[in-house]
Structure 1
Amino acid sequence: MDIVQYLVEERKANVNAVGDTGETALMRAAAEGYIRIVQYLVGCGADVNAKDEVRDTALTIAVESQNMDVVRSLIEDGGAEVNEIDGAGYTGLMKAAAQGRTDVVRYLVQEGGADVDATDGAGHTALMRAARGGHIEVVRYLVEECKADGNAVNEDGDSVLLQSAAEGQFEVIKYLVEECNVDVNATNLQGATPFTVAASAGHIEVMCYLVKECKADVNGKVDDGDTALMQAVHFGHIDVVRVLIGECEANVNAMTEDGETALMRAAQYGHLEIVQYLAGKCGANMDAADVVGGTALLRAAAEGYIDVVRYLVEAGADVNVKGRDGDTALILAAEFGQLEVVRYLVEEWGANVDATEGDGYTMLIAAAQYGHINVVQYLVEQRGANVNATDRDGDTALMRAAAEGHVEIVRYLAEDCGADVNVQDNDKDTALILAVQCRQFDVIRYLVGEQRANVNAVNNSGTTALMRAAAIGDLESVRYLVGTRSADVDITDKSGSTALMWATGAGHIDVIQFLTGMQA
């Protein structure tokens, strides 16, 4: 204190000077609870409502630091603005309510005139903040003595009850329901109720109270069609799932608008114990399909949850089931690179590695297209997959890999498996033409430079790889094909157009200049 007094009175220090963060001496003293220094600085004209870079005032800082004497001094001696907000939109009252400081809350309201209905940037009131923190004494005071609205909602439509349920604040919930007559089935903007959020957060006591005592709708759905059971499944709350079904009689086969069931959700997220409970104990339909034909098995296979896949298959799920686009569990596992699932389905269930789905995909083509070299190698080396098999478009695994830029797979299929790099699909496109169309320069360089792919091969339209490169303005590929590998610049397609004409039509000046320089 003596030093502060000396600096102000003898050295004429500016009491409102700010540091790098906008903090004043008054703010620092308020944070530390130095009441004598606070009183002195206020008496010397310190600005009690000054804000730092995060818009805190000395009062909001004092409240957050739980320095009641400082709070009182700032208001009574300095006339601090009680309803001033910080950068997050919080008033001192909101901060005190969140801390459960009934004494500070009471003082700010009764002596400071704090606005109990003020909201922060998200529409939260002091009552909401107290309720979320489970501060029942503050909640009672705000409701009973300050007439705070127990049915108020924030900008997301979350009521005080819903926010309390999300945090599992049982005492607050009982008070709001029994003393404030709040609506237990009120929904927020997403259609969530206090019951559904309690279930998703795993608050069993709250959930059971809302269902058994308050008659909350156990099978009610939020806007996306989720029930409380589905949300509990989503977060892996097995205890909640057991209570919802065993005690609350939740519908185990309820579906969202997309046809998703709780079992599908559990399988997709790899919650084995929940899958076992739903399918083994509750009779959940293992072969139920969503709107795209996806079953629990298909979801688990795509995500690579081998334990879930194994359980479902051995429990009787249809291993050959297909989604709407014809994908099987095997195809999906290959597509997503789930080698362990692929191995299980092939080796233990004798799945045909060359079987096709709706688009004619084989497992090998799917794995190659999505860049899963380990699955590709397993299928070829250990299961003898046909490297020259084609899909409905006539594309091979090598072609699909080339179009996607998976040069390692292209190299493996060409060098180790003898796949034909010049084979043509139904449109007579080659792997090179597809790679050019997709701007896969590393693949282009490998196919031409190391495999001597035919650079002048034409498709059904008479188009060459060079024409494709010119048409899309890929100067790097044009330079490589012409300058390094002598692609014929004068070939015409069936419409009589050359590569130069394709570039001209598309307005690719740099390609035009290069081809003109080559005397095209």
Structure 2
Amino acid sequence: MDENTFKLLVKLTQEGQLSSLQKQITVVGSTAVQEVRSKHFGRSGDTLLHYAARHGHLDIVEYLIKQLGVDMEVCNNDYKRPLHEAASMGHSECVSYLLEEGAKVDSLKKADWTPLMMACTRRNLDVIQQLLCHGADPKLHNKDGWNSFHIACREGDPLVVEHLLHAAPYVWKTESKTRRTPLHTAAMHGCEDIINILLERCGYIPDSPDSCGVTPFMDAVRNGHISVARMLLEKHQASPVAADVLRAQPVHQVAVTGQEEALRFLVQELRVDVNQRATDLQLTALHYAAKEGHVSIIKTLMELGAELHVKDIKGRTALHMACIGQHADAVRTLLLLGLKDSQDASGTTAQQLARKPDVVQAFECGLTDS
């Protein structure tokens, strides 16, 4: 069978034109049916059954399985089965049919994702219920250590999260390979409704750290989710000054991510020390903000009482850090605020670290006495 014919078959399948598909396959003859049945297309290696399931064309799915004898467990190059495709796209009727026909409910695609995990990314409760009723295991982990509950907490649908907890009451008691819990996931993505459910129904320990020492509170503030951070403080006794493995506190982390509202929340509302040091290098939030080039954070830090001339253990000021990051606007801002260039412990000035033309130019504008 020539390539143009195959392309036509794919097009007809994707568009859901069953009668035209049947006619075209009849035209190519019975000797070509075996070729149609086993043909994998393109880089993905999808079969016609994958296309039909992905687009939710139940009549074509039935035709391919019942009349052409396509294996419902056929894999593409990512080891996806048709059930993965139907579940990931929320096609309830196709999912139901494949399960009734005996499709393996917990089949694994690349990276060990199950159909249930795929369904949780779409927040489709009907599909999730069908999979669970056919024995899907929500406790299975993918290669990163995430289970379906992690994924549901990321997506933020309370009905899905509640249903998974009902189906498997201890499904919350899980960690990824980096020791991140569903509470971390929900906090990172600002899912307030999910945080409420997790704090009420699950037994998470306050400030449980992942492998980097990051707590759910840190995840919330460094992503700008102030309301979630407040919930963790009030309902879970989270600490606003807990430190990660590098001894960086939330005040340092929000300086890195450029979250101005979170910075004000920490310093003004929670009275966190804006000049608190982090890591063995004794870096302040001002050092971090300068290295990332966050001009608005630099200005806010100064407004909140940050020490402009503070140096880390290597004798570097925020000006050194701005030059290390090659951030011309940050250099100009620090110079305008009155920070003079100086030598670090190795005798290197910030100006000597400038490489990009606009950073060099910032020093050549006469804003420093160096």
Q: TM-score, normalised by structure 2?
A: 0.89
Letter in 1 for 2:65: V
Q: Residue 341 of structure 1: SS of its match in structure 2? A: helix
Map Cα deviations across residues 42-83 of structure 1 (whole Å, 9 max, x no partner): xxxxxxxxxxxxxxxxxxxxxxxxxxxxxxxxxxxxxxxxx4
Instruction: Assess if the C-alpha contact under 8 Å between 1:123 and 1:155 holds in 2.
Output: yes
Name the residue aligned to 1:97: 13
Name the residue aligned to 2:52: 130
Q: 1:145: Cα distance to partner?
A: 2.4
* Aligned pair partner of 1:169 in 80, 88, 91: 91
Whether 2:180 is the aligned partner of 1:264: answer no
Cα distance between partner residues in 1 of 2:181 and 2:119: 20
Map Cα deviations across residues 468-501 of structure 1 (whole Å, 9 max, x no partner): xxxxxxxxxxxxxxxxxxxxxxxxxxxxxxxxxx
Cα distance between partner residues in 2 of 1:211 and 1:428: 65
Letter in 2 for 1:335: V
Q: Residue 292 of structure 1: SS of its match in structure 2? A: coil
Map Cα deviations across residues 242-281 of structure 1 (whole Å, 9 max, x no partner): 2212334352131111111112122222222222322344
* Aligned pair partner of 2:305 in 364, 381, 384: 384
Q: 1:344: Cα distance to partner?
A: 0.5
Q: 1:209: Cα distance to partner?
A: 1.8
Cα distance between partner residues in 2 of 1:119 and 1:292: 42
Which is greater in Rg? 1
Name the residue aligned to 2:23: 107
Give the 5 Å matches for 1:28-427. Answer: 83-86=1-4, 90-113=6-29, 115=33, 116-117=36-37, 118-121=39-42, 122-179=44-101, 181-212=102-133, 214-249=134-169, 251-315=171-235, 316-358=237-279, 359-381=281-303, 383-416=304-337, 418-421=338-341, 423-427=342-346
Structure 2: runs of 5+ lacking an equivalent: none
- Shift in alpha-carbon separation, 1:449–1:155, aligned structure 2, 3 A: closer
Structure 1: runs of 5+ lacking an equivalent: 1-82, 455-520
Instruction: Assess if the C-alpha contact under 8 Å between 2:340 and 2:368 holds in 1.
Output: no
- Shift in alpha-carbon separation, 1:403–1:152, aligned structure 2, 3 A: closer
Instruction: Assess if the C-alpha contact under 8 Å between 1:244 and 1:250 holds in 2.
Output: no
Instruction: Assess if the C-alpha contact under 8 Å between 2:340 and 2:369 holds in 1.
Output: no
Map Cα deviations across residues 291-318 of structure 1 (whole Å, 9 max, x no partner): 1111112222222222222222233211
Map Cα deviations across residues 177-220 of structure 1 (whole Å, 9 max, x no partner): 223x22211111221111111111222122122222x2111110
Identity of aligned residues (%): 29
Cα distance between partner residues in 2 of 1:99 and 1:411: 57
Q: 1:452: Cα distance to partner?
A: 5.3
Letter in 2 for 1:106: Q
Q: Residue 190 of structure 1: SS of its match in structure 2? A: helix
Cα distance between partner residues in 2 of 1:379 and 1:119: 58
More RCO (CA 8 Å, sep 6+): 2
How many residue pairs get aligned? The number is 362
Letter in 2 for 1:398: L
CA RMSD of aligned residues (A): 2.3
- Shift in alpha-carbon separation, 1:209–1:445, aligned structure 2, 3 A: closer
Instruction: Assess if the C-alpha contact under 8 Å between 2:79 and 2:108 holds in 1.
Output: yes
